[in-house]
Structure 1
């Protein structure tokens, strides 16, 4: 009897059922913990957003609106059980909300309203949740837990890519992770830049983690994680991953003291990784500088030219998925015509410019600028404070992470993927934590002054004396 092709063999169904039950238990466990610690519900939402259990095991998790349920419980838990120390209004938060309002406005006049509202439905939620995150993650442990959740969710797809690359080889546009191709982290370029961007966060946790301290067996995990990230990213065959890796390596080399030693380590790693990936990988990476001869790269350049021209004529943007109307014919060197039609932007910057116009590009650029300025100021203020060394290193790690990510995303349409919005939120949480530490120090200083006798002159206090000088 012939098996129905839509019905997997019994062993695969059983394996999928076990996997689905396990993931369901993880989700319900996070919800249960969230009843006692509301910020855990925020962790659950981050996990769902990146791991996408409804797509990993649709037969089980796809039956429930897990994202909506978790988001609603998260909001209710904060409103009724965890409203302590709300963060003050921050420029990053203000610009995030303005950005959400603007993408909603552009959707109202979108060229393709049906497609636009479909994308707006999840893009708007991504932006607004990032604005809400600083209300959930306020303490050091909470911020660290959120970073760990992001890394583990991303590595759930990176590790399978890494293993399959080492065992049987890899390739571009292949489903080697847990998610289908072009779904979240199942999209190779997205996974590649996310994996490389995690490395600065991993190094930060190695130095300062309280939840997973650098000792015992975790030492091996911390040392293995960057290698897994690089091999997994390279195994996607996405050129954006190589760009991100180069930027991270250059930034790291520039800021270390032992430059010769680190350069030797990077060269040795290249000698190991490149042969490991094979000739096909090397051939594909070599096309980065050959845009005119590589069809994919040449297509992107043509689409970017169309986008710039469209934005010049429509400065308010064309709404989500406006790329579907693009069409451009180019005369090649051999005299033949090359036509592109309905091709995606393949760039975070062109996606913003085409869909939301010059105004949208200004808002998004201002959001990025506010993010960097906020972290630079935080790193500068905490530079010489030993008690806040972790906060100083977190600010630097977030800047390196974002720089690495935004370099690679110049070739990937991820303007509304959640990773960089999470980074924006962490900058607000870190700044808020520093303000609370400052306020606490000022209160302690005021309390000390109140305990000093009123007859003590100010000059004596300056000299560190608790009583009047002897006559």
Structure 2
């Protein structure tokens, strides 16, 4: 039954994507973030669903006229340069043949990110993209949060198997990034029940992140919470929720969890932490001696034999910064940081300029909450390997698309039709502004 449901959703969305390729972007995002097929046990588990989503989206992209060139802002330029550098790093790396699978996986994500930048144009598409990205992660977070509550935190929460976030540490960081995006959506809905539902989703995501027993995730959620409270328009409500989490949720965690968190201040006595620091040192030495870095992975035994000081065991960096540094050298790290600095600035621009008009206040909310997410990503990423995961790049597309929409006064050219008319399930009214794509209409007042 689960396989049939997933295959049906993919099949219907794929048909729609041929005419309205932005729907294909939504389908790809759902499959890539949530990995629903990994929770099935039949045909859907091994079916090339992501390839189908990418294929129909690219076909639709070639046929539609409602697209734009992808280089709409500095973050996209930095992103393009980083993608090019990754390819050079892979070709000149330690093991191009062995690293091909990882390079291919990352390039598929990056290609679809560029495609999203070309197809996510108006407010409806931006909002739909935010709902799909945040909603996909929220479902996983709700599942993990309920598991943490029901088991009293005695068992770790893990991400979808076979995904970038299957490890407990990476899953924790992905959920922390999601919480501010859910709050952004909460600010846009009018239904009281929807607001309460999104509050519950945020709390469950936080519970799941804590339930992963990730020390890096704990530091990230602390930093994100402080930034979240500062940037929120409802400081009383957010402060109350944070106080609830501290006074009610944390004391429920088992002794094993507290012992693990205490090792943050006693890292020299923790073998795992010292192994991680050793891996950071190896990454630095690899970048120092190899201009292009080690390739898609610097975790080669020869590097740890040459440069390891604490041990010679090959380990992952568990840090977005040292992972990129070891893999792609100092130039790669510079380009990688350029993506996020420029995205943070663009989000700040939205926060400042979006408040000037009623039509753009939603964009200001988006900019503020993306900045909160980026703070969580920057802090948690210092201790977790999540350099190539889709969600941060999805946030980059959201910010750039919203910035273009605000700058070009997108609300003035958007025709007024309903959601059903927009996706083509109902014929648009005769007085709607025509476009080359019958599906390219924005939402009227966010209702059906």
The equivalent of 1:96 in structure 2 is 79
* Residues 24, 53 of structure 2: 8 Å contact kept: yes
Moved more, 166-175 or 22-31: 166-175
In structure 1, distance between residues paired with 2:291 and 2:307: 24
Residue 377 of structure 2 is aligned to residue 377 of structure 1: no
In structure 2, distance between residues paired with 1:236 and 1:391: 32
Please provide the CA RMSD for this pair. 2.6
In structure 2, distance between residues paired with 1:398 and 1:125: 24
Aligned pair in 2 of structure 1 residues 171, 408: CA closer, same or farther (>3 Å)?
A: farther
SS of 2:409's equivalent in the other structure is helix
Aligned pair in 2 of structure 1 residues 259, 121: CA closer, same or farther (>3 Å)?
A: closer
In structure 2, distance between residues paired with 1:49 and 1:237: 24
Residue 221 of structure 2 is aligned to residue 249 of structure 1: no
The equivalent of 1:406 in structure 2 is 378
Deviations along 1:265-307, whole A, 9 cap, x unmatched? 5344212111222111111111112110112111111111121
* Residues 14, 24 of structure 2: 8 Å contact kept: yes
* Residues 171, 237 of structure 1: 8 Å contact kept: no
The equivalent of 2:171 in structure 1 is 191
The equivalent of 1:6 in structure 2 is none
In structure 2, distance between residues paired with 1:108 and 1:314: 13
Aligned pair in 2 of structure 1 residues 296, 82: CA closer, same or farther (>3 Å)?
A: farther
What is the Cα deviation at residue 75 of structure 1? Answer: 1.2
In structure 1, distance between residues paired with 2:126 and 2:259: 41
Residue 3 of structure 2 is aligned to residue 23 of structure 1: no
In structure 1, distance between residues paired with 2:240 and 2:25: 42
* Residues 172, 238 of structure 1: 8 Å contact kept: no
* Residues 17, 24 of structure 2: 8 Å contact kept: yes
* Of 311, 323, 332, the match for 1:339: 311
The equivalent of 2:304 in structure 1 is 327
Task: Map residues 5-44 of structure 1 onto 2, 5 A cutoff.
Answer: 18-44=1-27
What is the Cα deviation at residue 247 of structure 1? Answer: 0.9
The equivalent of 2:122 in structure 1 is 139
The equivalent of 2:438 in structure 1 is none
Residue 88 of structure 2 is aligned to residue 105 of structure 1: yes
Task: Map residues 301-450 of structure 1 onto 2, 5 A cutoff.
Answer: 301-325=277-301, 326-327=303-304, 339-437=311-409
In structure 1, distance between residues paired with 2:376 and 2:29: 21
In structure 1, distance between residues paired with 2:345 and 2:298: 32
The equivalent of 1:152 in structure 2 is 135
* Residues 14, 52 of structure 2: 8 Å contact kept: no
* Residues 173, 187 of structure 1: 8 Å contact kept: no
* Residues 70, 115 of structure 2: 8 Å contact kept: no
What is the Cα deviation at residue 44 of structure 1? Answer: 0.2
**Which ranges in structure 1 are unaligned for 5 or more consecutive residues?**
1-17, 332-336, 442-471
Deviations along 1:60-91, whole A, 9 cap, x unmatched? 12443211121111011122124245566422
Task: Map residues 60-139 of structure 1 onto 2, 5 A cutoff.
Answer: 60-84=43-67, 86=69, 89-139=72-122
Aligned pair in 2 of structure 1 residues 330, 95: CA closer, same or farther (>3 Å)?
A: closer
Structure having the higher Rg: 1
The equivalent of 1:235 in structure 2 is 211
SS of 2:316's equivalent in the other structure is coil
* Residues 122, 410 of structure 2: 8 Å contact kept: no
In structure 1, distance between residues paired with 2:3 and 2:316: 33
What is the Cα deviation at residue 156 of structure 1? Answer: 2.9
The equivalent of 2:421 in structure 1 is none
Deviations along 1:312-367, whole A, 9 cap, x unmatched? 12232110122133426999xxxxx9524111111100010000001111111222
* Of 252, 256, 268, the match for 1:292: 268
In structure 1, distance between residues paired with 2:231 and 2:54: 40
SS of 1:189's equivalent in the other structure is helix
In structure 2, distance between residues paired with 1:260 and 1:128: 42
In structure 1, distance between residues paired with 2:164 and 2:178: 16
* Residues 130, 424 of structure 1: 8 Å contact kept: no
* Residues 107, 113 of structure 1: 8 Å contact kept: yes
What is the Cα deviation at residue 438 of structure 1? Answer: 7.2
* Residues 154, 191 of structure 1: 8 Å contact kept: no
SS of 2:201's equivalent in the other structure is helix
